[in-house]
Amino acid sequence: MGTAIKLAGIELSDNYVCKGYFGDLAQTSPNTWSCRAFELAADAGIVTRSNTNARPEDLITRAEALAIVTSAKNFAKQETGQAVDAQANGWQTTLLRTVAKVGILTDVVSF
């Protein structure tokens, strides 16, 4: 999440006080950066606040990581065009079109 915050140009203030958006985050738990990073990302629309937990220590997929990056940089979603991965579906297809269009990936493999 720290990378997404930096890509969006958001400052990670040292004196940030957590607001409690996510039930599994606190000022110093699970670590000192996670609450402020996730809450600032939520305020910027990079991640949603509709989930009650952020799960900062969980693994994420390549598709989820790319979705966070494209959201942080506010790339327009590419809803039309040829699918770049026959294995992808739904939001992943749109994501793959977006990252191909903006040049993040030029040769996409299956998610």
Domain positions in the chain: 2-43, 62-102
pLDDT tens for 11-54 read 888 889 999 999 999 998 888 889 999 999 999 988 989 989 99
pTM for the whole structure? 0.72
- Long-range contacts, stretch 37-40, CB < 8 angstroms, 24+ apart: 37/1, 37/2, 37/5, 37/12, 38/1, 40/5, 40/10, 40/12, 40/16
